[in-house]
Structure 1
C-alpha cells in the first residue's frame, strides 16, 4: 500500500509548485540559475522532481521569487523535508528504476502495454526470477534475489485490500509465447495471469499476432494516474540505461489515445481469458508429449 509520505510524489509536487512560482515571476530557468550561481540543469532537475530538493534550495528559490507569504514558504519547506525521506524500496539498496517504483506506489491507476514480457505486477516469483536472470546474465545471485524481492513487494499494490491499484494491461501474444523459465513455469504464470484477470480492479487483454500492425508496435509504455488532481499523469517508457518520463499534457494525451486504440483492437476480456487458457493447455500438452 502507498505510504502517507511518498518522497517521489512529494518531489514532483514540490517541483511543479516551484515551476509555477518561477513562471508567475516571469523568469526563465536560466535567469534563476544565474541569480543563484548554479547550473540551469539543476533548476530543471528540481522542477521535474528528478533531484532531491533541500530546504535550503526552497529557501533560496522563494527568495528569488519574492514569496512573502510565510505559510507558503513553510508548506514548501515541509514538502522538501518530506521529499528527502526514504521510500520502502530504498531498503533494498540501489534500484535503477526507483523513480518509477515511487510513482507506482502512489498511483491510483496504471495502464500498461507490454510487447515482450508479462508486466512485473502480474508475474509469478518463478517467472520474475527467470526473467531477471536471463535479462541480466552478469548480475550476482544476491542482486537478482534483491530485484525479485522488490518486484514481489511492488505487487502489494495490486493485492491491497484498501484502495488497490486499478490496472489495465494490453499484452502482445509474444508475452504468452516466450517460455520464460521453461514450460512448467509458463503454465503456472498463465494460470496466475488468468486468475488476476478475474479481480474486479484488473483488466487484461491480449493483442494476437493475427492483428498485424497496431499502435503498440513501437514498444512498451505505461501511463500512471494519481488520486490527487495536483499530480499530473505520467507516461513511463523503460530504457536500457535510462528511463523516460513524459508529463506534458499533450504527450500524455497522445499516449492515452494510442492506448484506447490498443484496447479496441485487442481481444476482449472473455476472449483473452480463453486465449490464455488455451495457451496454457498447449504448454501442458508439449510437456507431456
Structure 2
C-alpha cells in the first residue's frame, strides 16, 4: 500500500485488483467461488466492496488468479490490512439494508476521504448541499415506499454526512453543476426553497462550494444524478462514480462509463453559466422565490 493510501483507497485497490485479475484469467465469479470453495455471494461481496477480504483468504485467491509477483502480493496484503483497521459510524450494522444501502455506505466512505467531489444535479440539489427541511421534503415524497423510522434515519445520516464534509481538514474541493429548473422547483414549498437557495448562496460566499447552472436554453445532458469523487492519493483523473435514481443507487467501477460521465460533466460544466453569474442567479432566485410561475425565465441581463 502506498504511504498516502487511506482505508477507502486501500479497500478499493484490493477489490479492483481481484476483479482485474479474475477478468484477465477469464473466470466468472461462479468459477472463482467453486475453485475457492466459497459461496458465490462471498465473491460478489468482496468484489463489490461490501466486505473486506482477510489476509488468509487473499493469499490463496491471488495464487489461484495467477497474481504471483511478490511485491504486488505484499502490497495487496498490506492494503487489505489497512482497509480493516478502522471502523466508522456508517459501518455499523444498524445502517445496513433499508436504512443505508451498500452503495450509500461506500459513497460515505469515499466522501470522508475524497480530494474532490463533482456533482451533476438535474432535478434537486445534491444531498451534500441540502438543508434539513429540503432533504426532509424529498425523503417524505417516498413515504409510500419507506417507513417513517427509515425516513428519520436517512435524514440523520444525510445531515451527518454534511457535517463530516464541512468539518474535514483539508476540505475537499466541492463542485455542483445544477439544472436551472431546480431554482424554481418548490420542493417542500416556497419557504423551504427560499431557505435552500439562501443556504447555497451563503456556502458560495464562504468558499465552501463552486456552483454552475446549466441553463434551460441548452439541451439536458443524457445523465441522471451522479457524483464523481477523486480519492486522495490516487492519480488525477481516476474517480469513483456514484449514481442514484429515486431509492435506487449504485457505485460504478467500469472505467469506460466513468470516463463518459466525466467527459459529459466537463462538457456541460464548460457550457454552463460561469461561477459569478450562477451565484447571482441563485441569490436572485432566493430573493424572488415563489414570485415566478412555472416556466418563467430567471435569466438576468
Match of 2:244 among 232, 238, 245: 238
Query: CA 1:147–1:33 in 2, change beyond 3 Å: closer, same or farther?
Result: closer
User: RMSD between aligned alpha carbons?
Assistant: 3.1
Specify the SS of the correspondent of 2:170: coil
What is the rounded CA distance, in whole Å, between the counterparts of 1:67 and 1:259 in structure 2? 39
Query: Paired residue for 2:87?
Result: 86
Partner of 1:253: 259
The equivalent residue for 2:228 is: 223
Unaligned runs of 5+ in 2: 293-301
Conserved 8 A contact 2:224-2:244: no
Which residue pairs with 2:132 in the alignment? 125
Task: State the shift of 1:132 in Å.
Answer: 1.1
Give the TM-score normalised by structure 2: 0.78
| Count of matched residue pairs | 278
Change (3 A) 1:50 1:230: farther
CA contact (8 A) 2:227 2:243 kept: yes
1:56 & 1:241 partners in 2: Cα distance?
36
State the 1:176 CA deviation: 1.9
Shift of residue 20, structure 1, vs aligned partner:
5.7
Contact 1:187 1:283 in 2 (8 A): yes
Distance 1:104 1:37, change over 3 A: same
- Tell me, which stretches of 5 or more residues in structure 1 are unaligned? none
* Match among 258, 268, 272 for residue 278 of structure 2: 272
Paired residues of 1:15 and 1:47 also in contact (CA < 8 A): yes
Q: Which moved more, 1:120-129 or 1:26-35?
A: 26-35
Q: 1:72 to 1:175 in 2, by over 3 A?
A: same
Equivalent of 2:114, from 101, 107, 115? 107
Corresponding residue of 2:295: none
Q: TM-score, normalization: structure 1?
A: 0.81
Aligned position for 1:152:
159
- Structure 1 residue 122, shift from structure 2 partner: 0.7
User: Aligned equivalents of 1:39 and 1:240: distance in 2?
Assistant: 31
Mapped to 1, the partners of 2:235 and 2:37 lie a distance apart of 30
Q: How many angstroms apart in 2 are the aligned matches of 1:251 and 1:130?
A: 31
SS of structure 2 residue aligned to 1:135: coil
Distance 1:271 1:182, change over 3 A: same
Q: Is 1:53 the counterpart of 2:53 in the alignment?
A: yes
